[in-house]
Chains A and B, each alone.
Chain A
């Protein structure tokens, strides 16, 4: 059986004919298997949804109780029979509850890794390497200029700035699901124990993280806090809010943005960021290439991001590789409208 007989890109998303399901479909389908809770991967309106408990909870939080006809929970390491295939979930290390999906049919194993990172993250289960025949990798940061370094160093940069400008507020743009909680957890690891303020849009998801036992210290809603009281504080907000009139409530704010895109200066400048923090929930170039090698897969399918460079690299290593023509990913994140072509990262 050829791999493309097992999984095939279609207009609805990645389709598994022998298993009669789609992975992260972008349009309503009968049966959806979802890798993680970001809105470009987890959409409402499917008949049946199979995902981790956390992913299902996040969808419920965003779309309401009736986001799907029926739901089924699966744990990491658990294997389920779907049609002629078996489906197994493995941690992807991207955000809380994120999974790679291994689909096996007639002895061929394809891993759809969704979004993943191999860097440590105190808010989710670490990435697990899954040996396979075909590895489907994302390529958000699929260029060798993207090397993310240690996130702790970036958080130290933020704390140094807070110390240098004690009369200013520090406003950290971070994607509401995953990045915000990771930045908070990293601040706590760095010993910052003052209250951290939250934009209204990220309160419920952050509280959900806390309800799953992730310690984020004292958090306060920023709404209603007097301007002067915000001097010297740190507030987390969705990236779009950091350039909004909403920021006028802060005293001379220093605008930071925690994202892998911040590695490229032009990106930071275009957004008017003063303090770029290179913190990413996606694997960087070294992470992508190391993971591809380690899976032992002889064939690599590359999707959403800089496919060309990664396909070229695979081929130069003697691996069969092709870009997977999937649309609709990495183009929106929750209600935010990021700069075009800039995925949640």
Chain B
């Protein structure tokens, strides 16, 4: 476990992809089975055991340390697992006769079978046996929060490098493999046959798009691209395959490969032709696509009742075909896949599955117009569920991951206002000890003349360098402290103006200003602008009126289709 922890620790700090690969490959080479297999599983998110709740970790540390000291430490470090790992008091055991620290295999296999009541004691034993880094990794693992900037793809690529194999090959057989991947490592090291994927309906890792920026267009030729609407739904992969007896196995996957077939039994009968469709899950009522808010009411339900199915009829809007019966189409150019898709959907002839239409455009100006007004550019009544356009290169194969260039997403323009920083609070996690959560306000007329009224909170959008600058500004311009919150100077000629971008506005009786922003983020620091020149509440009121005639745009954190 300590060796695995050491790897995680180093990976967490290493920004370079190639260096990460070297560290990973070095680990796979150095560490034997089955530890390395469980490490690969941990890094690819393939481990399954019941995760420990943060409350359990809090109880453990409370039993060993002073409550006030823990509180101050947690406030400083900002991460529960790390705080506990660092301040866990060394066990009072004698130096000799200490059990050796657990191996990763021991931890993983024990967690799989351990009863809930036995977990606290077991964790305590392990925490006593491990060092600081080991404790940190253990706590991250058991709480299911192992985020260290490694994609599953990167971990598989490092494994593939062990046998000089193409990572794509590992990717193709991956859905049929399970931890600790003895067969995979045997093949990679030339000691065994290539494992065969016997899953009749495997998940294919998805291809993702980059957000396009103004500067990107100059180097792109409209003729090279096909445009589609970007639907405000959920990206899914609908796969059907024949098992050994020739029976069709239908399966619906989320963009991360999670099997969500059970949540959409109403779509299953439509997946009767062997193939793999990449598309958007939507709710259709009387042929019209409903907003994401409507779709959301159908998601994350434990029980899918008949009523739910009837009220929220599910629909798949197809935009790519990755497999057609036995044929893997991913190497084909998009234009060819699109043709195959059209044939496939026509052959299927199912009302629940239709084609996502392409958007005709001859120039970027034409596309800009279509994006601004999807209703008159072909989306018609479905325009409410369009959140932008997608651009796909005609000649691009289907590449897992987020390659830059072949696919772009172009969302609708966000709103922008200039607001004044009013309060700041220290962040958590990476931002601990930095003032990184900002409450900002705009001017409004009151009995006492113009005053700032808070209109929102933002905690991202700025660069690391800007974070440092704001943090410094906050510390030097604090007028009052209330616990973790600092009042920052905000007067007509003293204060910091923040350019805030957001996706939409809503009326909100809970906010003093009467409006709430969706997805606000800091887009620029306006050191040049005196606070008195920041925007006024009236500006937001105007935007709100304009917004109310627009479709609902989804909130931060919701599933992003592309």
The answer to whether B464 touches A270 (Cβ under 8 A) is: yes
A247 on the B face (CB < 8 A): no
Residues of B within 8 A of A276 (CB): 13
Interface residues of B in 1-42 (CB under 8 A from A): 10, 12-16, 19, 22-23, 26
State which residues 161-200 of A face B: CB under 8 Å.
Answer: 164-165
Stretch of B76-84, B152-160, B368-376, B479-487 on the interface side: B76-84
Q: Is the CB of B13 within 8 A of A275?
A: yes
Asked whether, in the complex, the Cβ of A266 is within 8 Å of the Cβ of B78, the reply is yes
Chain A interface size range = 20 to 34
In this assembly, does B86 line the interface, its C-beta being within 8 Å of a C-beta of chain A? Answer: yes
Q: Which parts of A25-72 form the interface with B (CB within 8 Å)?
A: none
Residues of B within 8 A of A308 (CB): 72
- CA of A82 to CA of B87, assembled, Å: 43
Interchain CB contact (< 8 A) of A270 among B72, B76, B82, B434: B434
The CA-CA distance from A85 to B133 in the complex, in Å, is: 49
- Known: A264-B82, A340-B471, A340-B475. Contact between A143 and B14, CB under 8 A? no
Task: Please determine whether B464 and A145 come into contact, CB atoms closer than 8 angstroms.
Answer: no
If A270-B464, A276-B13 touch, whether A265 touches B68 (CB-CB below 8 Å) is: no
Q: Which of A165, A339, A340 has the most CB of B within 10 A?
A: A340
User: Which of B100-108, B335-343, B359-367, B425-433 contacts its partner?
Assistant: B425-433
- Which residues of A (266-317) have their CB < 8 Å from a CB of B? 266-270, 272-276, 306, 308-309, 312-313, 316
For B23, the chain A residues whose CB sits under 8 A away are 164
Residue numbers in B under 8 Å from A267 (CB-CB): 433
Tell me if A165 and B19 are in contact (CB < 8 A): yes
Interface residue from B26, B73, B76, B79 paired with A265 (Cβ < 8 Å): B79
Contact of A309 with B432 in the complex, beta carbons under 8 Å:
no
* Nearest CB of B to A336, in Å: 14
Nearest neighbor of A261 in chain B, beta-carbon distance:
B433
* Contact indicator A264/B432 (Cβ below 8 Å): yes
> Which residues from chain B contact A17 at a C-beta distance below 8 Å?
none
Does B193 reach chain A (CB closer than 8 Å)?
Answer: no
Contact A266 B432 (CB under 8 A): yes
Residues of B within 8 A of A18 (CB): none
When distances are taken between beta carbons in the complex, the residues of chain A under 8 Å from B86 are 144-147, 263-264
Q: Is the CB of A264 within 8 A of B77?
A: yes
Query: A306-B72, A309-B69, A312-B69 are contacts. A144–B87 as well, Cβ < 8 Å?
Result: yes
Residue from B26, B429, B468 within 8 A of A164 (CB atoms): B26
- Chain A, Cβ-Cβ closest to B89: A144
Contact across chains for A143 and B73 when beta carbons are under 8 A apart = yes
Q: How large is the interface on B (under 10, 10 to 19, 20 to 34, 35 or more residues)?
A: 35 or more
Q: Which B residues are CB-close (under 8 A) to A165?
A: 19, 22
**Is B472 in the interface zone, CB < 8 Å from A?**
yes
Which of A252, A309, A339 contacts B72 (CB under 8 A)? A309
Check A341 for interface membership: any CB of B closer than 8 A.
yes
**Across the interface, do A145 and B13 meet the contact criterion of CB distance under 8 Å?**
no
Q: Roughly how many angstroms separate A273 CA and B15 CA in the complex, as a whole number?
A: 9
* B132→A147 contact, CB < 8 A: yes
B213 at the binding interface (Cβ < 8 Å): no
Is there contact, CB below 8 Å, between B68 and A145? no
Residues of chain A within 8 A of B433, CB atoms compared: 264, 266-267, 341
The residue from B13, B72, B432 contacting A274, defined by CB atoms under 8 A apart: B13
Q: A143 contacts B76, CB within 8 Å?
A: yes
* Chain A min CB distance to B28 (Å): 14
The distance in angstroms between the C-alpha atoms of A275 and B66, with both chains bound, is: 31
Choice from B15, B69, B431, B472 contacting A266 with Cβ under 8 Å: B431
Q: How far is the CA of A84 from the CA of B333 in the complex (A)?
A: 91
Assess whether B65 is interfacial by the CB under 8 Å rule: yes
With A144-B87, A164-B22, A306-B72 as contacts: A273 and B77 at CB distance below 8 Å = no
Residue of A nearest to B13 (CB): A274
Tell me the complex Cα distance, A263–B22, Å: 24
CB contact under 8 A between A269 and B13, given known A147-B132, A164-B26, A340-B472: yes
Chain A residue, CB-CB nearest to B23: A164
CA distance A263 to B86 in the complex (A): 8
Which residues, 113 to 168 on A, are CB-close (under 8 Å) to B?
143-147, 149, 164-165
A289 CA / B69 CA spacing, docked (Å)? 13
Q: Smallest Cβ distance from A242 to chain B, in angstroms?
A: 13
Cβ–Cβ < 8 Å partners of A149 in chain B: 132
A264 to B87, CA, bound (A): 11
Q: How far is the CA of A149 from the CA of B90 in the complex (A)?
A: 12
B72 nearest in chain A by CB position: A309
Q: Which of B22, B69, B77, B471 contacts A313 (CB 8 A)?
A: B69
Residues of A within 8 A of B78 (CB): 266
The digit string for B458-473, where 1 denotes a CB below 8 A from any CB of A, is: 0000001001100110
Interface centre among A265, A272, A306, A308 (most CB of B within 10 A): A265
Complex partner residue of B69 from A143, A268, A341, CB under 8 angstroms:
A143
* A306 and B76 alpha carbons, distance in the complex (Å): 10
Q: List 7 interface pairs A-B (beta carbons < 8 Å), by A numbering.
A: A143-B69, A143-B87, A145-B77, A145-B87, A264-B82, A266-B429, A309-B73
- 13 extra A-B contacts, CB within 8 A, seeds A266-B433, A269-B12: A143-B76, A144-B73, A264-B86, A265-B12, A272-B464, A274-B13, A308-B72, A309-B72, A312-B69, A313-B69, A340-B468, A340-B475, A341-B433
User: Which residues does B use to contact A, with CB under 8 Å?
Assistant: 10, 12-16, 19, 22-23, 26, 65-66, 68-69, 72-73, 76-79, 82-83, 86-87, 132, 429-434, 464, 467-468, 471-472, 475
